[in-house]
Amino acid sequence: MNTQFKKGILEMCILSIIHERDMYGFEVIDTLAREIDVNDNTVYPILRRLTGQGLFDTYEKQTNVGAPRKYYKITSTGEKKLKEYESEWRTFLQGVFKLLGGITHENELS
Amino acid sequence: MKTNYLRKLRGELEEFQARDSEIEDIINDYSQLYDDAKSTGKTDEEVIEMLGDPKQIAYDLLDTLKLKKEKGVKQKIIALTPFLSVIIFMILGVSYDLWHPGWLVFLMIPVTAILFTKRLKDGIIALSPFVSVVIYMILGFGFQLWHPGWLIFFLIPVTAILLSTRGKEIPVAISPFVAVTAFIIMGTYYDLWNPGWLVFLAIPMIGILYGNNVWKIIIFELSFITAILFYLYMGYIQGSWTYGALGFMLPVVVGIAFGEITITGWDGFKGKHGKKAFIMFSTIILAIAAFLTLGFALNGWAWAWQVFLAIPVMGIVISGKFKFTAISPFVAVVLFFSIGYFFNAFQLSWLAFLIIPMAGIIENA
């Protein structure tokens, strides 16, 4: 699997989990690492890039210990991008499963 | 450890000329990530491994960084340099008939461009071919020291190693160059080709020092020292270097016993890194062989040094992040020197240096 492809999937996953609820940086890394084999140190640069592209907003929230944490919140542009990603990904997977002969009905994945 | 880690990251980001506000933002984020990771019970080493190498992070963040605006004065100097060079060249030529070595002023063009537009480290690395050529020319034309003056070209890979390699790995990385230099100087000036070659044993002896097992290190080093002493004793006292060489069976046996030496042919070069190491190793050997052949066979000491530029070029080509801009200083040096030297056209060949800024403009546009 090439690096660009992997990055794209990772971006979609990050958008998806922050869409579920607002998260702080380490929470994003930890959540991803528990579900998929991801190189932890690639996550923050992606978070920062997506924030720069206006897909996330950030805000600070006070914690019980130490300095306030930076939280990431998905924007409407981010939600739109996530939908695009999901649609592309589903189409792609349907094609792959068709080729593998595992799925015959197109809507089984949707 | 956290402070040290964040300081390194800050240093790497500053190298990229990131704006201060950007750096502060990233450092604050990494400070939080560090604390959060630490609060899960990870050790400092585990946290650092998780967050990644500061140099790599800075590279990964490069496309998200807002950079400081280049200082106007620097850009003006770069833009003016070609014109100033022509004016100075013409004055030197017309007024003082100093066409040669007046053409040297054209070196100002790439030198200022490199110094002012690149990261300082990259600038120094890119300058190393120019510095090497100038020193080599002075040694060659001035003192007829083409040989062993060519050793100055080791400055190119050694500079790159010193500025790009982690501190701990530097002695291992530069040891082959130091060994070759010591060997050539001992051989050339003191006719100590034998036992001068023993300096090459410094390469594995330094490499072994990076092991974790203290006893293993001691036994290995002792086996080398014993073999060297035996070789010298047999050679100088008994007059038999050949029998003395048998002493080197000792470190070989120790190596096999510890599993450090495996007789598996090219297996040592397998895998992604192994292939790269093999390519670099082959390039170095071929470059030295080509240089010596051209030097001795065609008396080409004055120009054959250019083959050494193949070493850093190959390093860049196989690094996986190939850009013509990165190799353009080396290409420019070859064109500049070859056109100037073989066609006696240094007055024109300086134009080759324009490749460097042009490549930069085209690739970064």
CA angle centred on B11, ends B5 and B14, rounded to 5°:
140
Q: Do B64 and A30 touch (CB under 8 A)?
A: no
Q: Which residue of B has its CA nearest to A43?
A: B51
Please tell me which residue, A76 or B268, carries the higher pLDDT value.
Answer: A76
> For residue B269, which amino acid is it?
F
CB contact under 8 A, B64 and A66: no
Long-range contacts of residues B211-217, Cβ cutoff 8 Å, at least 24 apart = B216/B258
Q: How far apart are CA B31 and CA B3, in angstroms?
A: 9
Distance CA A40, CA A57 (A): 22
DSSP element (H, E) containing B132? helix B120-137
- pLDDT in the model for residue B91: 84
How far does the CA of residue B56 sit from the closest CA of chain A (Å)?
A: 9
Q: What token pair was written down for B39? A: 């609060």
Token pair, residue A57, equals 């907003």
Query: How far B316 CA sits from the closest chain A CA (Å)?
Result: 20
Query: Confidence class of residue A77 from pLDDT cuts 50, 70 and 90?
Result: very high
- Verify whether the Cβ–Cβ distance A52 to B57 is below 8 Å: no
DSSP codes, A38-65: --GGGHHHHHHHHHHTTSEEEEEE--SS
Strand-pair partners of A23: A72
3-class secondary structure, A70: strand
- Local confidence band at A17 (pLDDT 50, 70, 90 cut-offs): very high
How far apart are the C-alpha atoms of A74 and A70, rounded to whole Å? 13
d(CA A72, CA B275): 42
Rg (CA), chain A: 16
CA angle A7, B8, B31 (to 5 degrees): 70
Domain spans of chain B? 2-64
Fill in the amino acid letter for B199: V
- Joined together, the tokens standing for residue B253 give 């046996």
Interface of B with A (CB under 8 A): 26, 28-33, 35-37, 40, 50-53, 56-57, 60-61, 63-64
A48 belongs to a structural domain: yes
Decide: B279 and B285 in contact? Cβ < 8 Å.
no
pLDDT in tens, chain B (365 residues): 888 899 888 888 887 777 888 888 899 899 988 988 888 888 888 888 888 888 888 888 887 877 766 556 776 777 777 778 878 888 888 888 887 777 778 778 777 877 776 566 767 777 777 788 778 878 877 888 877 888 888 887 788 778 766 667 778 778 878 887 888 888 888 988 888 888 888 877 887 887 778 888 899 899 999 999 999 999 899 888 878 888 888 887 887 777 655 544 445 555 656 677 778 778 878 887 888 788 778 877 777 777 877 877 887 787 666 677 777 777 877 887 788 778 877 656 666 766 766 676 666 54
Tokens representing B77?
């100097």
Q: In this model, does residue A27 exceed pLDDT 50?
A: yes
Q: What is the pLDDT of residue B364?
A: 52
Chain B residues with CB inside 8 Å of A44's CB?
29-30, 33, 51, 57
For B16, phi then psi, to 5°, come to: -85, 5
CA distance B324 to chain A (A): 22
Q: Output the DSSP codes for A12-25.
A: HHHHHHHHHS-EEH
Predicted local distance difference test score (pLDDT) of residue B360:
63
Q: Which of A29, A41, A65 should one mutate to test binding to chain B, selecting the residue with the greatest count of B CBs within 10 A?
A: A41
Number of folded domains that form chain A:
1
Strand runs (DSSP E) across chain B, as ranges? none
Closest partner residue to B33 among A25, A52, A66, by Cβ?
A25
pTM here? 0.47
> Which residue in A25, A42, A49 is closest to B29 by CB distance?
A25
Nearest CA in chain B to A30: B37
ipTM of this predicted structure: 0.85
The residue to which tokens 């502060």 are assigned: B24
- Considering only CB atoms, A41 lies closest to which of B32, B35, B57, namely B57
Predicted pLDDT at B264: 45
Q: Which one of B35, B53, B64 has the shortest CB-CB distance to A45?
A: B64
Contact B259, B220 (CB under 8 A): no
Instruction: Write down the mean pLDDT value for chain A.
Output: 84
Bridge-based pairing state of the strands A23-24 and A56-61: unpaired
User: What is the distance in angstroms between the Cα of A89 and the nearest Cα belonging to chain B?
Assistant: 25
By C-alpha distance, which of B1, B82, B81 is closest to B34? B1
Q: Which two tokens stand for residue B53?
A: 């190498």
Q: Does residue A74 contact residue A55 with C-beta atoms inside 8 Å?
A: yes
Reply yes or no on whether the pLDDT at A71 is more than 90: yes
Dig out the tokens for A77 from the structure: 């542009």
Please answer yes or no on whether B29 and A40 come within 8 Å at the CB atom.
no
Q: Choose the mutation target among A48, A56, A61, A62 for the interface with B, i.e. most B CBs under 10 Å.
A: A48
CB pairs under 8 A between A and B: 51
The answer to whether the beta carbons of residues B283 and B316 sit under 8 Å apart is: no
Please tell me which of the candidates B28, B29, B50 has its beta carbon nearest to residue A41: B50
- Nearest by CB to residue A25, choosing from B32, B63, B64, is B32
Q: Which residues of A touch B (CB under 8 A)?
A: 24-27, 29-30, 40-42, 44-45, 48-49, 52, 66-67, 69-70
- Given a cut of 80, whether residue A56 has pLDDT beyond it is yes
Paired with A61 in beta bridges are A69
Q: What is the CATH number of the domain that holds A55?
A: 1.10.10.10
Report whether B5 contacts B52 (CB < 8 A): no
Count how many residues are written for chain A: 110
pLDDT score at A110: 47
Domain ranges, residue A54: 3-77
Q: Are A61 and A67 in contact (CB under 8 A)?
A: no
Reported confidence tier of residue A72, pLDDT bands at 50, 70, 90: very high
Residues B175 and B161: their CA atoms lie apart, in Å, by 11
